[in-house]
Amino acid sequence: MKKVMNIIIFLILLSIPVATQAIATNASDINYTRIYFFYSDDCKECEIGKEWLENYEKDDYKISVEYIKNDNDLELKVKDTLNIKKDIKPLIIIGSNYFIGFNDKVKNNLTDAISSYEEEEEYCDIIPKLKNNEDVKECINQNKDIYNTSNSSILPKVVIILIGIILIFGIAFIIKKKLKS
């Protein structure tokens, strides 16, 4: 019975993903995912979002946040380019995806988007292009499959976890049967 438990524990440990982090020796070794945070001082959601992003940035060495305060010209270019009709702050841009306001739903979607962009070798960042008055249509098309809010459902993750648990218990059951015979 002890062998069976050891095998089960071993299988469970194997199924837990291990996060590894390469240590960069200089800044050029790191591919940052850029996030742009448009805000104003008189915005309560901006304060909360800014604080959350600052903490997230400390924990995730792969992101870099640029805080943009009251740059109406750039913000108008972004809104016009991405067809954003709402005039709500904060406005958060990653790649060519945007998030308006800051609440739990935005936080969850932004976390998913950051993960999606971090997994990409390269993505197109529209903000530098807009700053240089460059066309961003190709950039937006290049990014369209990186993160899509309609694909951010938790259901696939739950299904994968359940399948993993079923497999572990199935293997443990088979091993237990073999050990008994």
**Does residue 13 surpass a pLDDT of 60?**
no
pLDDT in tens, 141-158: 888 878 775 444 555 666
**Does residue 40 surpass a pLDDT of 60?**
yes
Round to the nearest angstrom and report the end-to-end CA distance of the chain: 13
- Kindly list the strands in the beta sheet with 63-69, ordered across the sheet, starting from the edge strand earlier in the chain: 63-69, 33-39, 91-94, 97-100
73-82 mean pLDDT = 89
> How far, in Å, are 38, 51, 79, 108, 138 from residue 99 at the CA level?
10, 16, 11, 11, 21
117-125 mean pLDDT = 84
Cβ pair 93, 68 in contact under 8 A: no
Let me know if domain 30-152 sits in CATH 3.40.30.10.
Answer: yes
Measured CA to CA, the distance from residue 133 to residue 23 in angstroms comes to 36
pTM for the full model?
Answer: 0.65
Confidence tier at 160 by pLDDT (50, 70, 90)? confident
62-78 mean pLDDT = 88
**Does residue 88 surpass a pLDDT of 90?**
no
| Domain residue limits, the chain | 30-152
Confidence tier at 8 by pLDDT (50, 70, 90)? low
